Amino acid sequence: RSCRLLALRLMLNKLNPVNFDVLKFIFQHFV
């Protein structure tokens, strides 16, 4: 799980800030 989160973070870092916001929204819904 930690590895996956790290990979997701890395991907987010590569993605644009807008995507980050979207991912954050999805993450909040997931948790």
pLDDT at 24: 85
pLDDT at 15: 67
Identity of residue 7 = A
pTM assigned to the model: 0.36
Model confidence pLDDT, tens digit, residues 1-31? 678 888 878 877 776 667 778 878 888 887 7
Neighbour-count burial for 3-26, b at 16+ CB within 10 Å, e otherwise: eeeeeeeeebeeeeeeeeeebeee
Cα-flanking dihedrals φ and ψ of residue 17, to 5°?
-60, -30
| Domain positions in the chain | 1-31
Query: Residue 2 region, left (φ>0) first, then alpha (ψ -120 to 50), else beta?
Result: alpha
pLDDT at 14: 77
